Every structure is written in structure tokens, then in C-alpha cells.
Amino acid sequence: MQRIAKAAVCGFLFTGACAFAQVGADYLDMTRVQVRGDKTKEFEDAIKKMAEVNRKYKGDRWVALSTEYGEFGGYTFSSTRENLAAVEEGMGAFRNALKEGLGPLGDKLMRDLSAFSASGHNEIRHRRWDLSVNGPASREDLLKTIAQTRWIRTLTLGMKPGRNLEYIEAWKPFAAELQKISPAAPVFLSEATTGSPALFVAIYHKSWAEMDAMDPGVQKALQSGAYQHLMKTTQDTVAASQWEILRIRPELSCPPDEVIQADPAFWKPKPAPSAAPKPKTDAPEKK
């Protein structure tokens, strides 16, 4: 959208790229916003209003996440795109929905969102299904994975110019080690198409208990020679890195219909019931 509401999820998997030829989700169109600490409620209220209008007038689709562990006040809005042309189509659908639903007030809503924010930027990421682990075999599988996800652990790797391929080649053997972990978890990797060179890793989780269950397998993978080689390569190729834990926010999202249908209780939360009015009582008679 124009675009203070899009965000998402990505990761890495060492499986043949041909296995994901039918996924049809090659790009992530994302907006990341840092909200002023005193304007969090106002920002979320405005996003809820925007999402309601967007859904009603059949606009764009996105998944919203908030940073729970990382810099306070971070929000990510992600739209899955089949190709770059779909980015433009999504922007147009969002603008049309906002115009049809709010008219001139749509511009004011966007100005308000900007005023509530300390900073923000848009980015496009290219999904690297060929480097991901336990990725989807089809678009339906991808949407089902998204529908069941509640938390995403993300690693942002700011790459030194021209060193992406070197890191990727070192990553592949370690990805093969991650493939052996049980219980398995989807680990997706994407690569920056806009902005500074970067790789993004995202691990999808249904719960924190699932993170605990994965930990023994992860620790074993970290003892491998493949990981030691990856760490040596990291020193030469990565300029900076950052881990975060993000929470899926269904009330701020406009996901695809298939995601909603997979878990409607989560993706279509019922509004909180209004407080019942207090019964009127007759004033006592004065004597």
C-alpha cells in the first residue's frame, strides 16, 4: 500500500529450487515503521480503521507484526507478491479502497499515521526458496504455514558490498544440518532487492514452547563443522546483524482469504463486547 501497512516473513532452506516452482510467491513487499512511544495506541487505532476500510472495499492484502523483543515500537507490514508487477497492482488496490471508503479523509489518515511514526521505510525482498529449510511445496502450503504462525524469529544480516554470494555458499552446508532438526520448523531466507545489500532469515513458530522443543536440535547443528565454517565466513562478509522476535497481529492485518479460512478464530477475532449500561436508580426521596 502507500504504504504504511505491509510486512512479513522470510527465511532460508537448503532444498532444490524446482520443488518450489509452484509456490508463486517470489517477493515480499514490506513496510517497516518505528512508532513514537507515546503514540502507540493512536497508531494501532488508525491501522485498525485502515484495515477495516481496506477489507470492506477489497483492497490490498498484508500481514502485520509488532516487535516484541527488539527495539520498542516496531511494526512490520508484509505483502506476498508473485512478481514485481503485482507490487504495483497491490498499491493501486489499496489506494482505490482508501479513496472509495474514506474519500478525502484517506489522505488525512495517512498523514496521521506518518505523524505517529518516528521513522519508516519500504523495501522489496526476493524470496530465496532455494536456500530455505522446510519451505512450502505449493502456494496453499505457504498460506497454511502463515495461518498457523504466531511468532517469527528474524535475523537481519547487513552484508558487505559484493559478499552475498560468498556468504550464501557457506550457508548451504549449514542449511543441510538444519534440515535434520526435529521437530522441523520453517526457516525462510530472502534477499534485499531495494536498499543496502542484506539477507533476511525468518523462523516461523506456533508457540514459544515450539522454540524450546527445537533448541536441542539447533544446538547440535551449531556444533557442526558447517556452522564453524559459516561463522568464519560471516566475519568477512557481514557488516552487522540483528535478532528480533515478532508477534503476528491479526487485528492489524488484511491477509488472503485462504489464511483466514485456515484459522478464522485467530484471523477474525471478535470485537470486545461493549460494557453494559448501568441500570438507572431512582434518587431517594428527601424527607
- Taking CA atoms, 48 is separated from 7, 59, 153, 202, in Å, by 15, 14, 24, 25
- Taking CA atoms, 154 is separated from 111, 224, 243, in Å, by 29, 22, 6
- Taking CA atoms, 157 is separated from 29, 72, 91, 193, 242, in Å, by 18, 20, 28, 14, 7
Q: What is the per-residue pLDDT for 229?
A: 97
Domain layout of the chain by residue ranges: 17-260
Q: What is the per-residue pLDDT for 185?
A: 82
pTM of the predicted model, to two decimals? 0.84
Instruction: Give which of 28, 33, 67 is closest to 47, Cα–Cα.
Output: 33
Query: pLDDT tens-digit profile of 129-152?
Result: 999 999 888 888 988 999 999 999
Q: What is the per-residue pLDDT for 19?
A: 37
Q: What is the per-residue pLDDT for 137?
A: 86
- Taking CA atoms, 24 is separated from 176, 206, 255, in Å, by 24, 24, 16
What is the number of helices (H) and of strands (E) in the chain?
Answer: 9, 8
Between CA 31 and CA 46 the distance in angstroms is 16
- Taking CA atoms, 80 is separated from 83, 124, 212, 270, in Å, by 9, 10, 29, 25
Owner of C-alpha cell 542449511: 175
Q: Which residues of 167-176 are buried (b: 16+ CB within 10 A; e: fewer)?
A: bbebbeebbe
Owner of C-alpha cell 514452547: 209
Instruction: Give 112's Cβ-side CA count (13 Å radius).
Output: 16
Give the residue ranges of the chain where pLDDT is below 50. Answer: 1-22, 287
Q: What is the per-residue pLDDT for 60?
A: 97
Q: What is the per-residue pLDDT for 275?
A: 53
CATH number of 17-260: 3.30.70.100
Q: What is the per-residue pLDDT for 139?
A: 86
Q: What is the per-residue pLDDT for 135?
A: 87
Q: What is the per-residue pLDDT for 280?
A: 58
Question: What are the cell numbers at 269?
Answer: 477475532
Between CA 202 and CA 137 the distance in angstroms is 18
Query: pLDDT tens-digit profile of 11-70?
Result: 322 223 333 444 667 999 999 999 999 999 999 999 999 999 999 999 999 999 999 999
